[in-house]
Structure 1
Amino acid sequence: MTRHARNCTAGAVYTYHEKKKDAAASGYGTQNERVGKDSVKSFDCCSLTLQPCRNPVVTKEGYLFDKEAILEYVISKKTEYNRKLKQYEKQLKKEEAEKAELAAAEKEANLIKFMNREKNITNTNKGSESGPSTSNSVSNLANGKDKALPSFWVPSQLPDAKISKVEKPDPTVYCPISGKPLKMKDLIEVKWTLVKDPDDKKSLIAKENRYMCPVTHDILGNAVPCAVIRTSGHVVTMECVEKIIKKDWLHPLTGDKLKEKDIILLQRGGTGYALTNQNLEGKHERPVLQA
């Protein structure tokens, strides 16, 4: 039976293909699969909802969001910050109260120690036949043990107290995609240019070609690099930027003067091609079968 026969069972080597096929069928081991076009969002979809944007806005890094979705995200983060801040302030008040209680207990302990010392001096002056008393104290705070043992009158010093210190929260809201600071004033409203096709009677979401470049009239898609002009919000192709805008740095529609920072590269979705996108590999971790 040859190696390439359909029912080849005489091979002396357990090949990589056979091992990979058996691992996929067994349900064990980590499986790496390439993500296709259907698993990556489109270029005009929100990075949070993964749905076409109704009121699109873009960050300085070029990530597209629906205005309603990003507003809900910012509000939720600020609400979470206020909740953590209240917990932090409550912890500070509790620590101050414990410090005051500890100071009062230490003051009372010093007073008792002073009274005992005065009592011993009085007994010594009276002069007894047995001499000064040298009785040993059975207190667990005597003979310097008060510095080593915890203060049992403070709740946080109890042996069974769980130390869960709340750190001071960060008031900065960060972008959920890039992780950089996010401010609402930095969001730029995006203006799409619709494709005018009188023969296409489909709704906007059902159309395959929805938007185009207002200058070159090229159809926009995941395979076409796009940029947002910050001053007006128009979306143009990078080919238009390189060949038209960068010649004299003038807005092709309004004639305004532009700068390098006014061109925001729009982060694309995915096409499934390695040349266009990176990190298109998905990892599915499953239980590992050990010998």
Structure 2
Amino acid sequence: MGRKSKQAGGHNPLTYHERKHYANDSSYGTTTARLGQDSQYKFGHCGLSLHPAVEHPVATPSGFIYERSTILEYLLTKTQSLKREQIEYDQWRERQEQEQQGTQDKKRKAIVERFESAQKVETFKKKKTDDNPLIKSSYWLAQSQPEKDKELSTRDPPPKRPPSPNSQQPLRRKDLIELDLKWNNEHQVLCAISEKTIHTQPALALIPKKDDKAQVVLESVYNDLGENKERVCPVTGKKLSKILKLQQGGSSFASKDGVIEAKQYRPTMT
């Protein structure tokens, strides 16, 4: 036997760059693309519309920022969709119960028939014909179809509340927290204390006890103020009920953001 490079199929006629070039031009093969900073989540932008939440910014308990009108429209649409899913689920449950009741009735009827046939005195035994070969060969008949697996007949009920768009946690309208964001001319959020631009740094939302808007500050600046035993907002001077950590903006660095690659799965040629 000759060398591997001399065998049929032992040498690829295309180079790596040629294969990548033809794969990108064709509709075959999985393609990957590295996501830059312009495609990452920017702090202060709505998590649905991807525009700066300038008019009525709100935050969810998971720390994501949205425009109030956008998130309310999402909750309304999702609630209507869940109602339709609940109706379909109830109809499916009713059909399942009817099928189960019919199966139990058939079993009881078969038991009664066997009992009655055992009580009768037969003068001769009727030869039973096996219908299984006919049923197996007639695969287009309904009775010859295989029974459904029990696992395939199970179905989870729809959630009672619509999930959050990013965290997938149950979300209600009253869970939304109004924010008081300060913007510069470049549509970037500023810290309420130091007025530094917030890009990818950890930020906090200082939520007051009453229905006032929460102030957004940098976590490092808030920690530098020292221990706040009285839990008073350093901006407004009001009592705080909760301190929420907001979702950080994307930096396009893999060491910080994790996976920053997008994949498009397409069929292979083999």
Please report the TM-score for the alignment, with normalisation by the length of structure 1.
Answer: 0.64
Aligned to 2:204: 227
Aligned to 1:200: none
Alignment of 1:25 onto 2:38? no
Q: Distance in 2 between matches of 1:246 and 1:160?
A: 71
| CA RMSD, 1 decimal | 3.7
Structure number with bigger Rg: 1
**Matched-pair identity in %:** 24
Q: What are the Cα deviations for residues 75-107 of structure 1, in whole angstroms up to 9, with x where unaligned?
A: 333333332332332233334434444555556
Aligned to 1:49: 49
Q: What are the Cα deviations for residues 34-61 of structure 1, in whole angstroms up to 9, with x where unaligned?
A: 3112222321211122122242211222
- Tell me how many residue pairs correspond in the alignment: 236
Q: Distance in 2 between matches of 1:46 and 1:214?
A: 19
Please report the TM-score for the alignment, with normalisation by the length of structure 2.
Answer: 0.68
Question: Of 244, 252, 258, which aligns to 2:225?
Answer: 244
Question: Of 136, 147, 152, which aligns to 2:126?
Answer: 136
Q: Distance in 1 between matches of 2:114 and 2:97?
A: 26
Q: What are the Cα deviations for residues 164-202 of structure 1, in whole angstroms up to 9, with x where unaligned?
A: 63524132433231233323332211111244xxxxxxx
Secondary structure of the equivalent of 1:241?
helix
- In the TM superposition, residue 241 of structure 1 has moved relative to its aligned partner by 1.2
Aligned to 1:83: 84
Aligned to 2:153: 165
Q: Distance in 2 between matches of 1:188 and 1:45?
A: 15
Residue segments in structure 1 that go unaligned for 5+ positions in a row: 1-13, 121-131, 150-156, 196-206
**1:1-291 → structure 2 map (5 Å cutoff):** 20-27=16-23, 29-53=29-53, 54-102=55-103, 104-105=105-106, 120=121, 133-138=123-128, 158-160=143-145, 163=148, 165=153, 167-169=155-157, 170-195=159-184, 207-220=185-198, 222-231=199-208, 232-244=213-225, 246-248=227-229, 249-258=231-240, 262-274=242-254, 277-286=257-266, 288=268
Q: What are the Cα deviations for residues 107-145 of structure 1, in whole angstroms up to 9, with x where unaligned?
A: 65566556655653xxxxxxxxxxx6122253779xxx9
Contact map agreement 1:245 1:252 (CA 8 A) in 2: no
- In the TM superposition, residue 275 of structure 1 has moved relative to its aligned partner by 6.2
Aligned to 1:154: none
Secondary structure of the equivalent of 2:82?
helix
Q: Distance in 1 between matches of 2:197 and 2:77?
A: 37
Aligned to 2:138: none
Contact map agreement 2:44 2:188 (CA 8 A) in 1: no
- In the TM superposition, residue 252 of structure 1 has moved relative to its aligned partner by 0.8
Contact map agreement 1:228 1:235 (CA 8 A) in 2: yes
Residue type of the partner of 1:33?
Answer: A
Q: Distance in 2 between matches of 1:67 and 1:161?
A: 52
